Structure 1
């Protein structure tokens, strides 16, 4: 006995329209959760961006015209001291005579200065041992045995190219990013 009755789904059995409805609900719920997560995450991520006062210190312009050969000035950049030294020809020659292979952190003077401005050595004034500020940039300060910088905290000594020559410091004084805008004007950062 055959009957022409439409199939009625049993309990728990889904029809094609029921499956589509459930898929839509899953997708809508997932999309809603993703938007909610993004809304919560954005302020947390955005707060890690540097503030306006930090961005303002990202770079500074320095006029070096008043710095005579053999003199250095101290500049504050990003809360750190920066030494800008106008090397004499004798200081450049002394730095170039040092065998690079004998250095703890081998770098030539040319690698630490800009082409055409080899008399200007610009470094962070932070000892690479424990972060003290070395002497040697100010008038009458001890320059150490190598004529560069001397760290009074633990005795690290740097040469005229600010390369580590003795003491516990593991590396040379760091050279920040900088660019000359004119022969005596430099932008640091």
Structure 2
């Protein structure tokens, strides 16, 4: 039959050696690309020193009533205060005061005797001084913000209360911040 096209069976063709070489080369190329890309992806993971700062534990048994300690967490100061009965009573009494950033004391603490908060003023990021100011809490000397015994802003240019970090009581005498 001269002049007619040969009958083609495109869908039923058996794999050839060329098909095997193309698939094998493609697979090796994909593995090679992934191996070359991995160091660039891995370098975006946090370093060991950053992971170490993601949480910190503190033994509370050495903090006397009425005493504060400052610990670093993520490079920022965290105030941990063992509040006196008078400070707790004053904080609860101040719940009804006109507060620029209203928050009840019970929502700022997990146990009334322990106040855990970031030691960074919400105005310009200064570190307030403890047990100073007009309300017996903290005073930021940079621009004159006054905080009460629950770390709530009471007077001055700071717009917000001292922030409360995430923390958990591991036992009655131990907490984990972060």
TM-score calculated relative to the size of structure 1: 0.75
Q: CA RMSD in A?
A: 3.3
What's the secondary structure of 1:94's corresponding residue?
helix
- Which whole-Å deviations, capped at 9, do the CAs of 1:154-189 have from their partners, x for residues lacking one? 111111000111112121111111111222211111
Q: Which residue of 2 aligns with 1:179?
A: 168
Offset at residue 33 of structure 1 (A): 7.8
Q: Are 2:74 and 1:78 aligned?
A: yes
Distance 1:184 1:7 in 2: 90
* 2:138 corresponding residue in structure 1: 149
Contact 2:95–2:105 (CA<8 Å) still a contact in 1? no
Is the counterpart of residue 122 in structure 1 residue 93 in structure 2?
Answer: no
Cα distance in 2, alignment partners of residues 102 and 32 from structure 1: 69
Cα offset for 1:120? 0.1
Superposed, 1:7-26 pairs within 5 Å as 7=5, 16=10
The aligned length equals 175
Shift in Å at residue 106 of structure 1?
1.7
Match of 1:162 among 151, 155, 164: 151
Partner of 1:6: 4
User: What secondary structure is seen at the aligned counterpart in 1 of 2:120?
Assistant: coil
**SS, match of residue 162 in structure 2:** coil
User: Residue in 1 aligned with 2:125?
Assistant: 131
Q: CA deviation at 1:28?
A: 9.2
Residues 63 and 39 of structure 1: CA distance in aligned 2, closer, same or farther (over 3 Å): same
> Structure 1 regions of 5+ residues with no counterpart?
9-14, 137-141
* Structure 2: stretches of 5+ with no match in the other structure: 17-21
